[in-house]
Structure 1
Amino acid sequence: MSLRVAVAGAGGTVGRRLTELLLADGHDVLSLTRSPGRAALRGVRGRLVRADFDARAGLARAVEGADALFVATFDPMDPRHDEHLATAALAAGVRHVVKLSALAVTDPGAQDLVTRWQRECEQLWQTSGMTWTFLRARAFMSNCLAWAGAVRAGGPVATLHGYAPNACVDPADVAAVAARALTVPGHAGRAYALTGPAAVSAREQVAQLSGFLRRPLRHEELTEQQALERWSARYPPPLVRALVESAGRQAAGAKASVTEDVLRVTGREPTAFGTWARRHLTVFR
Protein backbone atom coordinates (compact mmCIF):
# COMPACT_ATOMS: atom_id res chain seq x y z
CA MET A 1 0.00 0.00 0.00
CA SER A 2 1.33 3.40 -0.96
CA LEU A 3 1.68 5.88 1.90
CA ARG A 4 2.43 9.57 2.15
CA VAL A 5 5.54 10.09 4.28
CA ALA A 6 6.91 13.44 5.40
CA VAL A 7 10.68 13.57 5.90
CA ALA A 8 12.05 16.27 8.20
CA GLY A 9 15.74 16.34 7.42
CA ALA A 10 15.36 15.15 3.82
CA GLY A 11 18.67 16.72 2.85
CA GLY A 12 20.59 15.07 5.68
CA THR A 13 22.83 12.03 5.82
CA VAL A 14 19.98 9.59 6.51
CA GLY A 15 17.13 11.63 5.03
CA ARG A 16 18.52 11.69 1.48
CA ARG A 17 18.90 7.90 1.45
CA LEU A 18 15.50 7.43 3.05
CA THR A 19 13.66 9.49 0.44
CA GLU A 20 15.24 7.41 -2.31
CA LEU A 21 14.14 4.16 -0.68
CA LEU A 22 10.60 5.40 -0.11
CA LEU A 23 10.25 6.67 -3.67
CA ALA A 24 11.61 3.40 -5.06
CA ASP A 25 8.87 1.56 -3.16
CA GLY A 26 6.19 3.81 -4.65
CA HIS A 27 5.43 6.02 -1.66
CA ASP A 28 4.56 9.70 -1.85
CA VAL A 29 7.36 11.65 -0.13
CA LEU A 30 7.07 15.15 1.29
CA SER A 31 10.65 16.40 1.66
CA LEU A 32 10.51 19.19 4.24
CA THR A 33 13.15 21.85 3.68
CA ARG A 34 13.77 25.46 4.61
CA SER A 35 14.76 26.25 1.02
CA PRO A 36 13.20 24.07 -1.71
CA GLY A 37 15.28 25.85 -4.34
CA ARG A 38 18.61 25.01 -2.70
CA ALA A 39 17.40 21.50 -1.92
CA ALA A 40 16.55 20.93 -5.58
CA LEU A 41 20.01 22.08 -6.63
CA ARG A 42 21.54 19.62 -4.14
CA GLY A 43 19.54 16.77 -5.62
CA VAL A 44 17.09 16.24 -2.75
CA ARG A 45 14.27 14.10 -4.07
CA GLY A 46 10.57 13.88 -3.27
CA ARG A 47 7.97 16.63 -3.32
CA LEU A 48 9.90 19.58 -1.88
CA VAL A 49 7.85 21.41 0.74
CA ARG A 50 8.94 24.64 2.41
CA ALA A 51 9.14 24.16 6.17
CA ASP A 52 10.87 26.27 8.82
CA PHE A 53 11.31 24.24 11.99
CA ASP A 54 12.15 27.41 13.92
CA ALA A 55 8.52 28.53 13.62
CA ARG A 56 5.40 26.54 14.48
CA ALA A 57 3.25 28.47 12.03
CA GLY A 58 2.80 26.68 8.73
CA LEU A 59 4.28 23.35 9.79
CA ALA A 60 0.89 21.63 10.11
CA ARG A 61 0.13 22.61 6.54
CA ALA A 62 3.54 21.29 5.44
CA VAL A 63 2.81 17.79 6.80
CA GLU A 64 -0.88 17.80 5.92
CA GLY A 65 -2.04 14.46 4.58
CA ALA A 66 1.04 12.56 5.75
CA ASP A 67 0.50 9.10 7.19
CA ALA A 68 3.91 9.02 8.88
CA LEU A 69 6.74 11.40 9.69
CA PHE A 70 10.51 10.88 9.87
CA VAL A 71 12.34 13.35 12.10
CA ALA A 72 16.06 14.09 12.08
CA THR A 73 16.90 17.32 13.89
CA PHE A 74 20.46 18.39 14.56
CA ASP A 75 20.58 21.42 16.85
CA PRO A 76 20.84 20.56 20.55
CA MET A 77 21.26 24.27 21.22
CA ASP A 78 17.65 24.80 20.05
CA PRO A 79 15.22 22.06 21.21
CA ARG A 80 12.19 23.85 19.73
CA HIS A 81 12.43 22.00 16.41
CA ASP A 82 11.04 18.73 17.76
CA GLU A 83 8.43 20.58 19.81
CA HIS A 84 7.18 22.44 16.75
CA LEU A 85 7.15 19.32 14.59
CA ALA A 86 5.28 17.29 17.21
CA THR A 87 2.61 19.96 17.63
CA ALA A 88 2.20 20.32 13.87
CA ALA A 89 2.12 16.59 13.17
CA LEU A 90 -0.54 15.96 15.80
CA ALA A 91 -2.66 18.83 14.47
CA ALA A 92 -2.32 17.48 10.92
CA GLY A 93 -3.43 13.99 11.90
CA VAL A 94 -0.09 12.23 11.39
CA ARG A 95 -0.37 8.78 12.97
CA HIS A 96 3.22 7.60 13.38
CA VAL A 97 6.65 9.19 13.83
CA VAL A 98 10.10 7.67 13.39
CA LYS A 99 12.67 9.70 15.27
CA LEU A 100 16.42 9.50 14.64
CA SER A 101 18.09 9.40 18.06
CA ALA A 102 21.42 8.25 19.48
CA LEU A 103 22.44 5.03 21.21
CA ALA A 104 24.10 7.06 23.96
CA VAL A 105 20.66 7.70 25.49
CA THR A 106 20.78 4.18 26.94
CA ASP A 107 24.10 4.85 28.73
CA PRO A 108 23.51 6.18 32.28
CA GLY A 109 27.03 7.62 32.21
CA ALA A 110 26.25 9.79 29.20
CA GLN A 111 25.14 13.15 30.59
CA ASP A 112 26.51 15.52 27.97
CA LEU A 113 24.43 18.23 26.30
CA VAL A 114 23.69 16.28 23.11
CA THR A 115 22.64 13.09 24.88
CA ARG A 116 20.40 14.95 27.34
CA TRP A 117 18.77 16.70 24.37
CA GLN A 118 18.17 13.38 22.62
CA ARG A 119 16.54 11.97 25.74
CA GLU A 120 14.29 15.03 26.00
CA CYS A 121 13.32 14.63 22.34
CA GLU A 122 12.44 10.98 22.86
CA GLN A 123 10.29 11.86 25.88
CA LEU A 124 8.54 14.56 23.85
CA TRP A 125 7.59 12.11 21.10
CA GLN A 126 6.53 9.46 23.62
CA THR A 127 3.97 11.90 25.03
CA SER A 128 2.99 13.45 21.67
CA GLY A 129 -0.19 11.47 21.17
CA MET A 130 1.21 9.62 18.14
CA THR A 131 2.78 6.19 17.92
CA TRP A 132 6.56 6.31 17.68
CA THR A 133 9.70 4.38 16.77
CA PHE A 134 13.17 5.47 17.87
CA LEU A 135 16.29 4.75 15.83
CA ARG A 136 19.17 4.92 18.29
CA ALA A 137 22.22 4.97 16.07
CA ARG A 138 25.91 4.79 16.80
CA ALA A 139 28.24 7.22 14.99
CA PHE A 140 27.88 7.20 11.22
CA MET A 141 30.63 5.66 9.11
CA SER A 142 30.22 8.70 6.86
CA ASN A 143 31.82 10.87 9.55
CA CYS A 144 35.09 9.66 8.02
CA LEU A 145 34.36 11.76 4.95
CA ALA A 146 35.65 14.70 7.00
CA TRP A 147 39.11 13.16 6.53
CA ALA A 148 38.92 13.26 2.74
CA GLY A 149 40.80 16.54 2.32
CA ALA A 150 43.69 15.39 4.48
CA VAL A 151 43.82 12.00 2.75
CA ARG A 152 43.81 13.53 -0.73
CA ALA A 153 46.54 15.97 0.29
CA GLY A 154 48.71 13.20 1.69
CA GLY A 155 48.54 14.56 5.22
CA PRO A 156 47.81 12.70 8.44
CA VAL A 157 44.33 11.89 9.71
CA ALA A 158 44.22 13.44 13.17
CA THR A 159 41.71 12.28 15.79
CA LEU A 160 41.26 12.25 19.55
CA HIS A 161 41.48 8.79 21.15
CA GLY A 162 42.22 7.17 17.82
CA TYR A 163 42.68 3.78 19.48
CA ALA A 164 39.12 3.75 20.89
CA PRO A 165 36.61 1.37 19.25
CA ASN A 166 33.23 2.51 17.96
CA ALA A 167 30.58 0.20 16.49
CA CYS A 168 29.82 2.80 13.82
CA VAL A 169 26.92 2.24 11.42
CA ASP A 170 26.37 2.83 7.72
CA PRO A 171 23.76 5.63 7.32
CA ALA A 172 22.24 3.58 4.50
CA ASP A 173 21.43 0.86 7.05
CA VAL A 174 19.76 3.43 9.29
CA ALA A 175 17.71 4.64 6.31
CA ALA A 176 16.69 1.06 5.51
CA VAL A 177 15.45 0.55 9.08
CA ALA A 178 13.63 3.89 8.94
CA ALA A 179 11.87 2.94 5.70
CA ARG A 180 10.57 -0.27 7.28
CA ALA A 181 9.49 1.46 10.49
CA LEU A 182 7.61 4.12 8.51
CA THR A 183 5.75 1.86 6.10
CA VAL A 184 5.43 -1.63 7.63
CA PRO A 185 3.25 -2.40 10.67
CA GLY A 186 4.76 -3.78 13.84
CA HIS A 187 7.33 -1.14 14.77
CA ALA A 188 5.26 1.16 16.99
CA GLY A 189 6.66 1.57 20.48
CA ARG A 190 10.02 0.05 19.50
CA ALA A 191 13.48 1.55 20.04
CA TYR A 192 16.16 0.06 17.79
CA ALA A 193 19.87 0.11 18.64
CA LEU A 194 21.65 0.46 15.30
CA THR A 195 25.34 -0.41 14.97
CA GLY A 196 27.71 -1.88 12.45
CA PRO A 197 28.80 -5.54 12.66
CA ALA A 198 32.05 -4.76 14.51
CA ALA A 199 33.64 -2.00 16.54
CA VAL A 200 36.54 -0.28 14.79
CA SER A 201 38.86 2.51 15.89
CA ALA A 202 39.93 5.52 13.85
CA ARG A 203 43.39 3.97 13.50
CA GLU A 204 41.84 0.81 12.07
CA GLN A 205 39.66 2.82 9.70
CA VAL A 206 42.71 4.71 8.43
CA ALA A 207 44.58 1.42 7.96
CA GLN A 208 41.70 -0.02 5.93
CA LEU A 209 41.50 3.08 3.76
CA SER A 210 45.24 2.86 3.20
CA GLY A 211 44.91 -0.70 1.97
CA PHE A 212 42.06 0.10 -0.39
CA LEU A 213 43.84 3.18 -1.78
CA ARG A 214 47.11 1.21 -2.06
CA ARG A 215 49.19 3.97 -0.56
CA PRO A 216 50.38 4.72 2.97
CA LEU A 217 48.19 6.81 5.24
CA ARG A 218 49.15 8.01 8.69
CA HIS A 219 47.02 8.47 11.78
CA GLU A 220 47.99 11.24 14.19
CA GLU A 221 46.78 11.31 17.77
CA LEU A 222 45.42 14.64 18.99
CA THR A 223 45.77 15.72 22.58
CA GLU A 224 42.58 16.80 24.28
CA GLN A 225 43.77 20.41 24.14
CA GLN A 226 44.38 20.18 20.40
CA ALA A 227 40.92 18.69 19.88
CA LEU A 228 39.41 21.47 21.97
CA GLU A 229 41.10 24.10 19.85
CA ARG A 230 39.93 22.50 16.60
CA TRP A 231 36.34 22.05 17.72
CA SER A 232 36.17 25.51 19.29
CA ALA A 233 36.82 27.02 15.87
CA ARG A 234 33.61 25.39 14.60
CA TYR A 235 31.21 24.90 17.50
CA PRO A 236 29.92 26.85 20.54
CA PRO A 237 31.48 26.00 23.93
CA PRO A 238 28.59 23.84 25.25
CA LEU A 239 28.75 21.63 22.17
CA VAL A 240 32.55 21.41 22.38
CA ARG A 241 32.27 20.18 25.98
CA ALA A 242 29.73 17.58 24.84
CA LEU A 243 32.09 16.33 22.14
CA VAL A 244 34.95 15.98 24.62
CA GLU A 245 32.74 14.07 27.08
CA SER A 246 31.50 11.79 24.29
CA ALA A 247 35.06 11.08 23.15
CA GLY A 248 35.99 10.22 26.73
CA ARG A 249 33.19 7.65 26.96
CA GLN A 250 34.37 6.10 23.71
CA ALA A 251 37.91 5.89 25.08
CA ALA A 252 36.48 4.03 28.07
CA GLY A 253 34.89 1.46 25.76
CA ALA A 254 31.29 2.66 26.06
CA LYS A 255 30.67 2.61 22.28
CA ALA A 256 32.10 -0.79 21.38
CA SER A 257 29.04 -3.02 21.81
CA VAL A 258 27.40 -4.48 18.70
CA THR A 259 23.69 -5.14 18.23
CA GLU A 260 21.62 -7.13 15.73
CA ASP A 261 18.72 -4.73 15.21
CA VAL A 262 19.67 -3.85 11.62
CA LEU A 263 19.45 -7.56 10.79
CA ARG A 264 16.21 -8.03 12.74
CA VAL A 265 14.42 -5.18 10.98
CA THR A 266 15.83 -5.37 7.45
CA GLY A 267 16.62 -9.08 7.15
CA ARG A 268 20.23 -8.45 6.12
CA GLU A 269 23.50 -8.06 7.94
CA PRO A 270 24.69 -4.52 8.70
CA THR A 271 27.37 -3.08 6.44
CA ALA A 272 30.99 -3.50 7.53
CA PHE A 273 33.25 -0.45 7.55
CA GLY A 274 35.43 -1.93 4.82
CA THR A 275 32.42 -2.33 2.54
CA TRP A 276 31.33 1.24 3.19
CA ALA A 277 34.87 2.53 2.56
CA ARG A 278 35.20 0.73 -0.76
CA ARG A 279 31.93 2.31 -1.92
CA HIS A 280 33.29 5.80 -1.15
CA LEU A 281 36.90 5.53 -2.31
CA THR A 282 36.44 8.14 -5.04
CA VAL A 283 35.98 10.78 -2.32
CA PHE A 284 39.39 9.95 -0.86
CA ARG A 285 41.33 9.70 -4.12
Structure 2
Amino acid sequence: MKPWGDTGPRIVVTGATGAVGRHLARRLGAGAQARLLVRDAEKAARLGLPDDAVVTGDYQDRSRLEEVLAGADAVFVVTANPLRPADDANILAAARARGVRRAVKLSWTAVADPDATDLIARWNRDSEALLHDSGLDWTVLRMRSPMSNTLAWASAIRKESVVRSFAGDAPTACVDPRDVAEAAARVLTEPGHESRTYALTGPEELTPREQTRQLADVLRRPLRFEELTAEQALTRWRERLPEPLAQALLEVAERRGGPGTGPGHDGEGDLEALLGHAPTPYRQWAADHAAHFC
Protein backbone atom coordinates (compact mmCIF):
# COMPACT_ATOMS: atom_id res chain seq x y z
CA MET A 1 0.00 0.00 0.00
CA LYS A 2 1.46 3.32 -1.11
CA PRO A 3 2.20 5.70 1.78
CA TRP A 4 0.44 9.04 1.92
CA GLY A 5 2.24 12.04 0.45
CA ASP A 6 2.63 15.48 1.99
CA THR A 7 0.15 17.56 -0.06
CA GLY A 8 -3.64 17.67 -0.29
CA PRO A 9 -6.35 15.96 1.75
CA ARG A 10 -6.00 12.24 2.29
CA ILE A 11 -9.20 10.44 1.33
CA VAL A 12 -10.23 6.79 1.39
CA VAL A 13 -12.90 5.92 -1.17
CA THR A 14 -14.88 2.80 -0.38
CA GLY A 15 -16.93 1.28 -3.17
CA ALA A 16 -14.38 2.61 -5.63
CA THR A 17 -15.52 0.36 -8.49
CA GLY A 18 -19.19 1.31 -8.08
CA ALA A 19 -21.31 3.56 -10.28
CA VAL A 20 -20.30 6.68 -8.32
CA GLY A 21 -17.03 5.58 -6.75
CA ARG A 22 -15.24 4.96 -10.06
CA HIS A 23 -15.91 8.55 -11.17
CA LEU A 24 -15.00 9.97 -7.76
CA ALA A 25 -11.71 8.05 -7.85
CA ARG A 26 -10.77 9.69 -11.14
CA ARG A 27 -11.76 13.17 -9.92
CA LEU A 28 -9.77 12.93 -6.71
CA GLY A 29 -6.71 11.86 -8.62
CA ALA A 30 -6.20 15.43 -9.82
CA GLY A 31 -6.60 17.32 -6.56
CA ALA A 32 -6.32 15.01 -3.58
CA GLN A 33 -4.54 11.91 -2.41
CA ALA A 34 -6.77 8.86 -2.45
CA ARG A 35 -6.78 5.22 -1.46
CA LEU A 36 -9.36 3.27 -3.44
CA LEU A 37 -10.73 0.38 -1.41
CA VAL A 38 -12.07 -2.46 -3.56
CA ARG A 39 -12.80 -6.13 -3.20
CA ASP A 40 -11.92 -7.00 -6.80
CA ALA A 41 -8.56 -5.65 -8.01
CA GLU A 42 -9.11 -7.09 -11.49
CA LYS A 43 -12.34 -5.10 -11.88
CA ALA A 44 -10.52 -1.97 -10.73
CA ALA A 45 -7.87 -2.57 -13.40
CA ARG A 46 -10.52 -3.06 -16.11
CA LEU A 47 -12.05 0.29 -15.11
CA GLY A 48 -8.68 1.98 -15.44
CA LEU A 49 -8.32 2.94 -11.78
CA PRO A 50 -4.72 3.78 -10.89
CA ASP A 51 -2.89 0.69 -9.64
CA ASP A 52 -0.85 2.57 -7.06
CA ALA A 53 -4.02 3.90 -5.38
CA VAL A 54 -6.02 0.65 -5.32
CA VAL A 55 -6.09 -1.37 -2.10
CA THR A 56 -8.09 -4.52 -1.50
CA GLY A 57 -10.16 -5.35 1.54
CA ASP A 58 -13.53 -6.40 2.88
CA TYR A 59 -15.83 -4.36 5.10
CA GLN A 60 -16.04 -7.28 7.51
CA ASP A 61 -12.26 -7.20 8.08
CA ARG A 62 -11.93 -4.52 10.76
CA SER A 63 -8.14 -4.75 11.02
CA ARG A 64 -7.73 -4.29 7.28
CA LEU A 65 -10.08 -1.30 7.34
CA GLU A 66 -7.98 0.31 10.07
CA GLU A 67 -4.82 -0.32 8.08
CA VAL A 68 -6.28 1.36 4.98
CA LEU A 69 -7.74 4.30 6.94
CA ALA A 70 -4.58 5.04 8.94
CA GLY A 71 -3.49 8.60 8.27
CA ALA A 72 -6.61 9.56 6.27
CA ASP A 73 -8.44 12.86 6.72
CA ALA A 74 -11.78 11.70 5.27
CA VAL A 75 -13.63 8.62 4.08
CA PHE A 76 -16.31 8.24 1.42
CA VAL A 77 -18.70 5.59 2.76
CA VAL A 78 -20.45 3.39 0.22
CA THR A 79 -21.99 0.07 1.18
CA ALA A 80 -24.33 -1.85 -1.08
CA ASN A 81 -25.75 -4.84 0.75
CA PRO A 82 -28.65 -4.48 3.20
CA LEU A 83 -28.03 -8.09 4.20
CA ARG A 84 -24.68 -7.01 5.70
CA PRO A 85 -25.81 -4.20 8.03
CA ALA A 86 -22.56 -4.25 10.01
CA ASP A 87 -20.53 -2.92 7.07
CA ASP A 88 -21.22 0.75 7.81
CA ALA A 89 -20.55 0.25 11.51
CA ASN A 90 -17.19 -1.41 10.74
CA ILE A 91 -16.06 1.38 8.41
CA LEU A 92 -17.04 4.12 10.85
CA ALA A 93 -15.51 2.35 13.85
CA ALA A 94 -12.25 1.83 11.96
CA ALA A 95 -12.24 5.48 10.88
CA ARG A 96 -12.78 6.64 14.44
CA ALA A 97 -10.05 4.34 15.73
CA ARG A 98 -7.58 5.78 13.23
CA GLY A 99 -8.39 9.42 13.87
CA VAL A 100 -10.23 10.14 10.61
CA ARG A 101 -12.11 13.44 10.99
CA ARG A 102 -14.73 13.39 8.23
CA ALA A 103 -17.13 10.89 6.68
CA VAL A 104 -19.33 11.44 3.64
CA LYS A 105 -22.06 8.82 3.23
CA LEU A 106 -23.78 7.92 -0.05
CA SER A 107 -27.42 7.21 0.77
CA TRP A 108 -30.82 7.23 -0.96
CA THR A 109 -33.55 9.85 -1.26
CA ALA A 110 -36.23 7.35 -0.19
CA VAL A 111 -34.96 7.71 3.39
CA ALA A 112 -36.97 10.94 3.56
CA ASP A 113 -40.20 9.22 2.43
CA PRO A 114 -42.21 8.01 5.44
CA ASP A 115 -44.03 5.54 3.19
CA ALA A 116 -40.76 3.84 2.25
CA THR A 117 -40.62 0.87 4.62
CA ASP A 118 -38.83 -1.66 2.41
CA LEU A 119 -35.59 -3.35 3.44
CA ILE A 120 -33.39 -0.99 1.40
CA ALA A 121 -34.94 2.20 2.80
CA ARG A 122 -34.76 0.91 6.39
CA TRP A 123 -31.11 -0.09 5.95
CA ASN A 124 -30.19 3.34 4.60
CA ARG A 125 -31.98 5.04 7.51
CA ASP A 126 -30.10 2.88 9.99
CA SER A 127 -26.81 3.61 8.22
CA GLU A 128 -27.43 7.35 8.38
CA ALA A 129 -28.19 7.06 12.09
CA LEU A 130 -24.85 5.29 12.63
CA LEU A 131 -23.13 8.13 10.82
CA HIS A 132 -24.82 10.78 12.95
CA ASP A 133 -23.71 8.97 16.11
CA SER A 134 -20.17 8.23 14.90
CA GLY A 135 -18.49 11.26 16.44
CA LEU A 136 -17.08 12.20 13.01
CA ASP A 137 -17.88 15.32 11.03
CA TRP A 138 -20.48 13.96 8.65
CA THR A 139 -22.30 14.74 5.42
CA VAL A 140 -25.02 12.64 3.77
CA LEU A 141 -25.52 12.57 0.01
CA ARG A 142 -28.93 11.07 -0.77
CA MET A 143 -29.12 10.23 -4.46
CA ARG A 144 -32.03 9.27 -6.67
CA SER A 145 -31.78 6.27 -8.99
CA PRO A 146 -28.61 6.51 -11.10
CA MET A 147 -29.04 6.84 -14.84
CA SER A 148 -26.56 4.00 -15.20
CA ASN A 149 -29.28 1.59 -13.99
CA THR A 150 -30.61 1.63 -17.54
CA LEU A 151 -27.44 -0.13 -18.70
CA ALA A 152 -29.36 -3.24 -17.60
CA TRP A 153 -31.41 -2.73 -20.77
CA ALA A 154 -28.37 -2.79 -23.05
CA SER A 155 -28.36 -6.47 -23.96
CA ALA A 156 -32.05 -6.57 -24.96
CA ILE A 157 -31.66 -3.33 -26.90
CA ARG A 158 -28.68 -4.68 -28.83
CA LYS A 159 -30.31 -8.04 -29.59
CA GLU A 160 -34.02 -7.21 -29.87
CA SER A 161 -34.44 -3.40 -29.91
CA VAL A 162 -36.68 -3.74 -26.87
CA VAL A 163 -36.79 -2.42 -23.31
CA ARG A 164 -38.63 -4.48 -20.70
CA SER A 165 -39.42 -2.86 -17.39
CA PHE A 166 -41.94 -2.88 -14.58
CA ALA A 167 -43.79 0.34 -13.65
CA GLY A 168 -43.20 1.89 -17.04
CA ASP A 169 -45.21 5.02 -16.20
CA ALA A 170 -43.58 5.73 -12.83
CA PRO A 171 -41.51 8.95 -12.99
CA THR A 172 -38.23 9.50 -11.17
CA ALA A 173 -35.63 12.26 -11.32
CA CYS A 174 -32.75 9.88 -12.13
CA VAL A 175 -29.28 11.33 -11.72
CA ASP A 176 -25.98 11.02 -13.57
CA PRO A 177 -23.42 9.21 -11.35
CA ARG A 178 -20.76 11.55 -12.72
CA ASP A 179 -22.63 14.50 -11.20
CA VAL A 180 -22.90 12.71 -7.86
CA ALA A 181 -19.16 12.02 -7.96
CA GLU A 182 -18.43 15.67 -8.71
CA ALA A 183 -20.61 16.74 -5.77
CA ALA A 184 -18.92 14.18 -3.50
CA ALA A 185 -15.47 15.46 -4.48
CA ARG A 186 -16.48 18.99 -3.50
CA VAL A 187 -17.93 17.89 -0.17
CA LEU A 188 -14.85 15.81 0.63
CA THR A 189 -12.34 18.53 -0.18
CA GLU A 190 -14.12 21.78 0.77
CA PRO A 191 -15.19 23.07 4.20
CA GLY A 192 -18.73 24.04 5.12
CA HIS A 193 -20.62 20.79 4.51
CA GLU A 194 -20.53 19.39 8.03
CA SER A 195 -23.84 18.08 9.46
CA ARG A 196 -25.57 18.63 6.11
CA THR A 197 -27.83 16.27 4.16
CA TYR A 198 -28.17 16.86 0.41
CA ALA A 199 -30.72 15.32 -1.95
CA LEU A 200 -29.07 14.74 -5.33
CA THR A 201 -31.62 14.45 -8.11
CA GLY A 202 -31.56 14.80 -11.86
CA PRO A 203 -33.00 17.78 -13.75
CA GLU A 204 -36.28 16.15 -14.82
CA GLU A 205 -38.75 13.44 -13.88
CA LEU A 206 -38.77 10.66 -16.48
CA THR A 207 -40.62 7.36 -16.73
CA PRO A 208 -39.00 4.23 -18.19
CA ARG A 209 -41.15 4.72 -21.29
CA GLU A 210 -39.81 8.25 -21.71
CA GLN A 211 -36.23 7.07 -21.16
CA THR A 212 -36.81 4.47 -23.88
CA ARG A 213 -37.99 7.16 -26.30
CA GLN A 214 -34.94 9.29 -25.55
CA LEU A 215 -32.64 6.31 -26.04
CA ALA A 216 -34.32 5.61 -29.39
CA ASP A 217 -33.69 9.21 -30.44
CA VAL A 218 -30.03 9.01 -29.42
CA LEU A 219 -29.50 5.64 -31.13
CA ARG A 220 -31.50 6.76 -34.18
CA ARG A 221 -33.51 3.58 -34.36
CA PRO A 222 -36.92 2.52 -33.04
CA LEU A 223 -37.12 0.79 -29.66
CA ARG A 224 -40.14 -1.05 -28.35
CA PHE A 225 -41.18 -0.81 -24.70
CA GLU A 226 -42.72 -3.87 -23.03
CA GLU A 227 -44.31 -3.58 -19.61
CA LEU A 228 -43.39 -6.36 -17.21
CA THR A 229 -45.88 -7.63 -14.68
CA ALA A 230 -44.90 -7.56 -11.02
CA GLU A 231 -44.35 -11.32 -11.09
CA GLN A 232 -42.16 -11.11 -14.19
CA ALA A 233 -40.05 -8.36 -12.63
CA LEU A 234 -39.70 -10.34 -9.41
CA THR A 235 -38.61 -13.43 -11.33
CA ARG A 236 -35.87 -11.43 -13.06
CA TRP A 237 -34.59 -9.97 -9.79
CA ARG A 238 -34.61 -13.41 -8.17
CA GLU A 239 -32.24 -14.65 -10.89
CA ARG A 240 -29.43 -12.40 -9.63
CA LEU A 241 -30.34 -11.38 -6.07
CA PRO A 242 -31.24 -13.02 -2.76
CA GLU A 243 -34.97 -13.23 -2.09
CA PRO A 244 -35.11 -10.37 0.50
CA LEU A 245 -33.48 -7.96 -1.95
CA ALA A 246 -35.69 -9.05 -4.83
CA GLN A 247 -38.78 -8.45 -2.69
CA ALA A 248 -37.43 -5.07 -1.59
CA LEU A 249 -36.92 -3.95 -5.20
CA LEU A 250 -40.49 -4.96 -5.99
CA GLU A 251 -41.74 -2.88 -3.05
CA VAL A 252 -39.70 0.09 -4.27
CA ALA A 253 -41.06 -0.19 -7.82
CA GLU A 254 -44.65 -0.60 -6.66
CA ARG A 255 -44.38 2.43 -4.38
CA ARG A 256 -42.99 4.59 -7.18
CA GLY A 257 -45.71 3.46 -9.53
CA GLY A 258 -48.57 4.01 -7.11
CA PRO A 259 -50.85 7.02 -6.66
CA GLY A 260 -49.26 10.27 -5.59
CA THR A 261 -45.78 9.46 -6.89
CA GLY A 262 -45.68 12.03 -9.68
CA PRO A 263 -43.34 14.99 -10.18
CA GLY A 264 -41.81 16.86 -7.29
CA HIS A 265 -39.04 15.83 -4.91
CA ASP A 266 -37.41 17.07 -1.73
CA GLY A 267 -34.05 18.77 -2.10
CA GLU A 268 -34.62 20.02 -5.64
CA GLY A 269 -31.69 22.29 -6.43
CA ASP A 270 -29.21 20.71 -4.00
CA LEU A 271 -27.17 19.11 -6.76
CA GLU A 272 -27.04 22.23 -8.92
CA ALA A 273 -25.96 24.29 -5.90
CA LEU A 274 -23.13 21.88 -5.14
CA LEU A 275 -21.98 21.63 -8.75
CA GLY A 276 -22.34 25.27 -9.73
CA HIS A 277 -24.00 24.15 -12.98
CA ALA A 278 -27.15 22.35 -14.08
CA PRO A 279 -27.23 18.55 -13.59
CA THR A 280 -26.80 16.36 -16.65
CA PRO A 281 -30.06 15.41 -18.42
CA TYR A 282 -30.73 11.77 -19.26
CA ARG A 283 -30.51 12.41 -23.01
CA GLN A 284 -26.92 13.62 -22.59
CA TRP A 285 -26.01 10.66 -20.39
CA ALA A 286 -27.49 8.33 -23.02
CA ALA A 287 -25.51 10.01 -25.81
CA ASP A 288 -22.29 9.67 -23.81
CA HIS A 289 -22.95 5.95 -23.26
CA ALA A 290 -24.54 5.09 -26.60
CA ALA A 291 -21.83 2.54 -27.42
CA HIS A 292 -23.12 0.26 -24.67
CA PHE A 293 -26.48 -0.04 -26.46
CA CYS A 294 -25.14 -0.63 -29.99
TM interval, short-chain normalised: over 0.9
Alpha carbons 2:22, 2:47 under 8 Å: kept: no
> Out of 36, 41, 45, which is 1:36 matched to?
41
Note the 1:38-53 alignment, pairs <5 A.
38-45=43-50, 47-53=53-59
Report the Cα offset of residue 63 of structure 1. 0.8
Report the Cα offset of residue 41 of structure 1. 4.2
Report the Cα offset of residue 113 of structure 1. 0.3
| 1:140-176 Cα shifts (integer Å, max 9, x gaps) | 0000111111111124211001011011000011101
User: Is it true that 1:260 corresponds to 2:265 in the alignment?
Assistant: no
Gap runs ≥5 in structure 2: 1-6
User: Is it true that 1:229 corresponds to 2:235 in the alignment?
Assistant: yes
d(CA) in 1 for partners of 2:45 and 2:68?
A: 17
d(CA) in 1 for partners of 2:262 and 2:250?
A: 14
d(CA) in 2 for partners of 1:188 and 1:104?
A: 21
User: Is it true that 1:2 corresponds to 2:11 in the alignment?
Assistant: no
Note the 1:19-30 alignment, pairs <5 A.
19-25=25-31, 27-30=32-35
Report the Cα offset of residue 235 of structure 1. 1.4
Alpha carbons 1:138, 1:255 under 8 Å: kept: no
Report the Cα offset of residue 255 of structure 1. 6.8
Percent identity at matched positions?
47
Alpha carbons 2:144, 2:200 under 8 Å: kept: yes
| 1:105-139 Cα shifts (integer Å, max 9, x gaps) | 00000000000000000000110110111010000
| 1:55-79 Cα shifts (integer Å, max 9, x gaps) | 2122111111111100111000111
Alpha carbons 1:167, 1:255 under 8 Å: kept: no
Aligned position for 2:180? 174
Alpha carbons 1:60, 1:92 under 8 Å: kept: yes
Aligned position for 2:4? none
Q: Secondary structure at the match of 2:20?
A: helix
| 1:220-242 Cα shifts (integer Å, max 9, x gaps) | 00111111111111111211111
d(CA) in 1 for partners of 2:276 and 2:85?
A: 34
Report the Cα offset of residue 34 of structure 1. 2.5
| 1:186-216 Cα shifts (integer Å, max 9, x gaps) | 0010100010010000000100111111111
Q: Secondary structure at the match of 1:220?
A: strand
* Alignment TM-score, normalising by the size of structure 1: 0.96
d(CA) in 2 for partners of 1:58 and 1:196?
A: 36
Q: Secondary structure at the match of 2:106?
A: strand
Report the Cα offset of residue 265 of structure 1. 0.9
d(CA) in 1 for partners of 2:162 and 2:235?
A: 17
> Out of 76, 90, 99, which is 1:70 matched to?
76
Aligned position for 1:281? 290
d(CA) in 2 for partners of 1:247 and 1:73?
A: 21
Q: Secondary structure at the match of 1:188?
A: coil
* Alignment TM-score, normalising by the size of structure 2: 0.93
Q: 1:63 to 1:273 in 2, by over 3 A?
A: same
> Out of 182, 201, 205, which is 1:199 matched to?
205
One-letter code of the match for 1:81? Answer: D
Q: 1:32 to 1:221 in 2, by over 3 A?
A: same
d(CA) in 1 for partners of 2:231 and 2:64?
A: 44
One-letter code of the match for 1:268? Answer: H
Gap runs ≥5 in structure 1: none
Report the Cα offset of residue 50 of structure 1. 2.4
One-letter code of the match for 2:137? Answer: T
Q: 1:109 to 1:53 in 2, by over 3 A?
A: same
d(CA) in 2 for partners of 1:59 and 1:165?
A: 39
d(CA) in 2 for partners of 1:247 and 1:269?
A: 27
Alpha carbons 2:9, 2:33 under 8 Å: kept: yes
Aligned position for 1:129? 135
Aligned position for 2:3? none
Could you say what the CA RMSD is over the residues aligned between the two structures, in angstroms?
1.4
Note the 1:71-90 alignment, pairs <5 A.
71-90=77-96
